[in-house]
Chain A
Amino acid sequence: MEKFTTFEGIVAPLDMINVDTDMIVPKQFLKTIKRSGLGANVFDEMRFRPDGSEIEDFVLNQPDYRQSQILVAGDNFGCGSSREHAPWALLDFGFRCVIAPSFADIFFNNCFKNGILPIALPQAEVYRLMSDAKQGNGTVLSINLEGQTITRPNGETIAFDVDPFRKNCLIEGLDDIGLTLKKSEKIDAFEAERNQLAWR
């Protein structure tokens, strides 16, 4: 997993609540047996007509936002299906950070496993970042994970919370399974005890 420390990226507005994972990556792209290549399909039905041509109005089709790396959206981002294809598609497009007032649990978890930082902020702060994003013209935000701040184009900084353990995993690019396997003795002991009842 790519390490996540500090980066600047173009910010795109997706001013909608309840953006679900079916929207982020529709089911026809779940037939793949790979993780890569889904960036071409991110937000497919909002981004492309059935004939494959671009829908000009959609934010990621506008020249200012084609290189976006940060997405600002409304409440309950990532609700619905557990498909990890959603963060894979966002990452493959280039997104490293999603900012919203709230996230659905499974999507939120899936982001951290893939080097994407989901940031939940109070509504008022999301509004400010949304207005920055709507300026277009290559407007960038600067994200400092170590210091837990977002710097707006006007220089103002906004602090955010992140679970310290997950933060460390992102910064170090740590492999979850590798971390857990360091606790193998505990798992062995627990399992031996639990397996004493065969039906469990």
Chain B
Amino acid sequence: MSHTTLYDKIWQAHLVDEQDDGNCLLYIDRHLIHEVTSPQAFEGLRMSGRQVRVPSKTLAVADHNIPTTNRAGGVEAIEDEQSRIQIETLEKNCAEFGIDHIGMMDLRQGIVHVTGPEEGFTMPGLTIVCGDSHTSTHGAFGALAHGIGTSEVEHVLATQTLAQRKAKNFRVNVVGDAPDYITAKDIALAVIGEIGTAGGTGYVLEYAGPAIEALTMEGRMTLCNMSIEAGARAGLIAPDEKTFEYLKDRPRAPKGADWDAAVAYWQTLRSDSDAVFDREITIDAANLPPLVTWGTSPQDVISINGRVPDPAAIDNEARRKATERALAYMGLEADMPVQSIEIDRVFIGSCTNSRIEDLRAAAKVVEGKKVSDRVNAMVVPGSGLVKKQAEEEGLDKVFLDAGFEWRDPGCSMCLAMNADKLSPQERCASTSNRNFEGRQGREGRTHLVSPAMAAAAAIRGHFVDIRDF
């Protein structure tokens, strides 16, 4: 094949059936499930007397609703009854249908999008789905990965396929040498700021260019993770030596001759030089400032040296109304400098930014300093393995000495389903992915930033330019 994109190639390799009307059936290689979006799918299977077609292609881990403190007593000791029932239901469903389940007390337990790659469950060229929109994370490996609804979870369990229509191709070229202080998070926010939260709707994004090649695998996961915030169900990065290096010797990665054969195949997974994209943009990473969101949509992106927008200067009525609403919700004045915004909470965690490199970056900023008196700050590692690694490196000590809380792994305050949430009007510098109204707690106010920027804000009590820190 020539003229084809990486997305085209993976799509074509998984096409089970194509109807004349463009509706297709795509084979699904890997399915991740968690406690929140799977119970109704299993219930559906039971009600219709259906089985799981290939149990070995599904992996379960609880993350959304799991407590991040006081876990010693195990699942039965979880205080919140509904949370406990949901987690127990996942365990029971997995046992009943023969699905591999990583339990809460297992060291490997973590956020599904951290655990999947750590296990080597995620690999290039595969189709990967999960009932969670941030499944786009796994595109960092050159896998076609996206979120699905619960009806589709049931469909994949029953048939190992998904009914799909092909998306369009959108290449995001990121050129230039990103300075040290520009992280994958800043690049992600820059992309969303540029194309908007609906800019990627109907497309699969492929991130390419020197600044993407320069990213580590963890950085690539951060970037692909936020593709959904730009409206794209999936984001992709062509696999390279870094990808193979990351996967080698992972528990579920191929071994021996299988590994060699897999790498040989993976090396073919890239867009042709003459591939045609329906849309392209280019972003220069060399000239990006550290970014912060000011509003209630991930596209509300602004430079750390910028000012909060003034609705009076916006012509489009829908946009102006949305901006007015966002400013009121966020408790901000038009035109105020971003660095004058004081914060109450800091959350370092989530499937976007909870991996070891994220924690190292934050710890480097925090080391030897103290969290501002006005700030309550917490670190929630993405998995038990990340937590263990961080503790071996002494990062837990750095955070604890500075006054951070050091928690057990889970989604935590990214979506605030468990006890970790903002109180009304509390303002949070968060390394997560969504600043929607109420996302981190009713009337809570979220600003999205990189781990280093969140850490610096924790120390100073307001946003600061990491370049001056």
> What is the interface of chain A, defined by CB distance below 8 A to chain B?
15-18, 20, 22-23, 26-28, 30-35, 45, 50, 74-76, 79-84, 87, 102-106, 109-110, 113-114, 163-165, 175-177, 179-181, 183-184, 186-187, 190-191, 194, 197-200
A31-B65, A109-B149, A177-B48 known; A80 and B434 CB under 8 Å?
yes
Q: Is B159 in contact with A22, judged by CB distance below 8 angstroms?
A: no
- B443 CB contacts on chain A under 8 angstroms: 45
Chain B, Cβ-Cβ closest to A28:
B417
- Complexed CA–CA distance, A34 and B39 (Å): 7
Q: Is B198 in contact with A104, judged by CB distance below 8 angstroms?
A: yes
- Chain A's nearest CB lies how many Å from the CB of B314? 12
- A23 CB contacts on chain B under 8 angstroms: 436-438
B19-27, B101-109, B302-310, B344-352 - interface stretch: B19-27
B281 interface residue per 8 A CB criterion: no
Chain A, Cβ-Cβ closest to B434:
A80
Other-chain contact of B158, A26, A50, A177 (Cβ < 8 Å): A177
A33-B89, A164-B21, A199-B258 known; A106 and B16 CB under 8 Å?
no
The 3 closest A-B pairs by CB, nearest first: A199-B254, A113-B151, A33-B39
Within 8 A of A (CB), among B189-243: 197-198, 201-202, 228, 231, 233
Within 8 A of A (CB), among B4-37: 16-17, 19, 21, 23, 25, 27, 29, 36-37
- B285 CB contacts on chain A under 8 angstroms: none
Q: Is B201 in contact with A76, judged by CB distance below 8 angstroms?
A: yes
B125-133, B399-407, B447-455 - interface stretch: B125-133
Binary contact readout B318-349 vs A (1 if CB under 8 angstroms, 0 otherwise): 11011001000000000000000000000000
- B147 CB contacts on chain A under 8 angstroms: 82, 106
Chain B, Cβ-Cβ closest to A18:
B297
Q: Is B163 in contact with A26, judged by CB distance below 8 angstroms?
A: no
- Complexed CA–CA distance, A110 and B434 (Å): 20
Binary contact readout B158-174 vs A (1 if CB under 8 angstroms, 0 otherwise): 11110101000000000
- B373 CB contacts on chain A under 8 angstroms: none
- Chain B's nearest CB lies how many Å from the CB of A29? 10
- B202 CB contacts on chain A under 8 angstroms: 105
B148 interface residue per 8 A CB criterion: yes
- Complexed CA–CA distance, A109 and B249 (Å): 37
- Complexed CA–CA distance, A110 and B40 (Å): 14
Q: Is A31 in contact with B86, judged by CB distance below 8 angstroms?
A: yes
- B417 CB contacts on chain A under 8 angstroms: 27-28, 30-31
Q: Is A102 in contact with B442, judged by CB distance below 8 angstroms?
A: no
- B322 CB contacts on chain A under 8 angstroms: 16-18
- Chain B's nearest CB lies how many Å from the CB of A120? 10
B82 interface residue per 8 A CB criterion: yes
- Complexed CA–CA distance, A185 and B150 (Å): 25
Please give 9 more A-B residue pairs, beta carbons under 8 A apart, in addition to A27-B417, A177-B159, A199-B258. Answer: A30-B36, A31-B82, A33-B39, A34-B40, A104-B198, A113-B149, A175-B48, A177-B155, A187-B53
Q: Is B163 in contact with A180, judged by CB distance below 8 angstroms?
A: yes
- A164 CB contacts on chain B under 8 angstroms: 21
Q: Is A197 in contact with B82, judged by CB distance below 8 angstroms?
A: no
- Complexed CA–CA distance, A30 and B131 (Å): 13
Q: Is A183 in contact with B151, judged by CB distance below 8 angstroms?
A: no
- Chain A's nearest CB lies how many Å from the CB of B45? 9
Q: Is A80 in contact with B23, judged by CB distance below 8 angstroms?
A: no
Chain B, Cβ-Cβ closest to A16:
B322
A187-B16, A198-B258 known; A74 and B318 CB under 8 Å?
yes
Other-chain contact of B318, A17, A50, A194, A199 (Cβ < 8 Å): A17
- Chain A's nearest CB lies how many Å from the CB of B107? 24
Q: Is A105 in contact with B148, judged by CB distance below 8 angstroms?
A: no
Chain A, Cβ-Cβ closest to B417:
A27
- B21 CB contacts on chain A under 8 angstroms: 163-165
- B160 CB contacts on chain A under 8 angstroms: 187, 191
B83 interface residue per 8 A CB criterion: yes
- Complexed CA–CA distance, A102 and B198 (Å): 8
Q: Is B198 in contact with A76, judged by CB distance below 8 angstroms?
A: yes
- Chain B's nearest CB lies how many Å from the CB of A194? 6
- B438 CB contacts on chain A under 8 angstroms: 22-23, 26, 45
- Chain B's nearest CB lies how many Å from the CB of A158? 20
Q: Is B152 in contact with A109, judged by CB distance below 8 angstroms?
A: yes
- B415 CB contacts on chain A under 8 angstroms: 22, 27, 81
- B279 CB contacts on chain A under 8 angstroms: none
- Complexed CA–CA distance, A17 and B50 (Å): 40
- A113 CB contacts on chain B under 8 angstroms: 149, 151-152
- A179 CB contacts on chain B under 8 angstroms: 163
- A106 CB contacts on chain B under 8 angstroms: 133, 146-149, 233
- Chain B's nearest CB lies how many Å from the CB of A122? 14
Supply 13 A–B pairs (Cβ within 8 Å), ascending by A: A30-B65, A33-B86, A35-B40, A75-B198, A84-B40, A84-B149, A106-B148, A113-B151, A165-B21, A176-B151, A177-B155, A191-B54, A199-B259
Q: Is B37 in contact with A83, judged by CB distance below 8 angstroms?
A: yes
- A103 CB contacts on chain B under 8 angstroms: 201
Q: Is A187 in contact with B159, judged by CB distance below 8 angstroms?
A: yes
Q: Is B197 in contact with A79, judged by CB distance below 8 angstroms?
A: yes
Chain B, Cβ-Cβ closest to A180:
B159
Other-chain contact of B155, A79, A80, A176 (Cβ < 8 Å): A176
- A74 CB contacts on chain B under 8 angstroms: 318
- Complexed CA–CA distance, A22 and B27 (Å): 30
Q: Is A75 in contact with B17, judged by CB distance below 8 angstroms?
A: no
